[in-house]
Amino acid sequence: MPIEIHGKPYKMVHERVTALHEDDTVNDHIEIETGIWSEDENQITMWAKVSTPKGKFTGHARSHKSTGSIEGQSPLEVAETSAVGRALGFAGYGIVEGIASADEIIAAERAN
């Protein structure tokens, strides 16, 4: 169930992954790949590629290692999850108001 942030509905990444796996039009022909785009002592940037019979869709996300939240504690995992969520958004999964997932919006608000 999407959550409301600033009056707009956003889907969590796990909801987007579930929607992909429940989509009968893609059958078992789905693949999610992830990798590190870049990393230094301050941040990590991940990429994700979602492949379906509809095409290939890529998302990127960055996490900052110095934040005090879960982003700083597990920056690789947070960036990977967000990158997957963005790729799924580009593929049409979980889009309600935009590509950003609830996970990304919440992380961005914590950073400010």
Q: Which comes out higher in pLDDT, residue 67 or 99? A: 67
Higher pLDDT, 25 or 56: 56
pLDDT of residue 25: 84
* Segment 8-23 mean pLDDT: 84
Range 31-35 average pLDDT: 96
Q: What is the DSSP letter of 27?
A: T
pLDDT of 104 higher than 70 = no
pTM of structure? 0.81
- 27 CB-contact burial (10 Å; exposed 0-12 / middle 13-18 / buried 19+): exposed
| Per-residue model confidence (pLDDT) at position 11 | 80
Cα(56)–Cα(105) distance, integer angstroms: 24
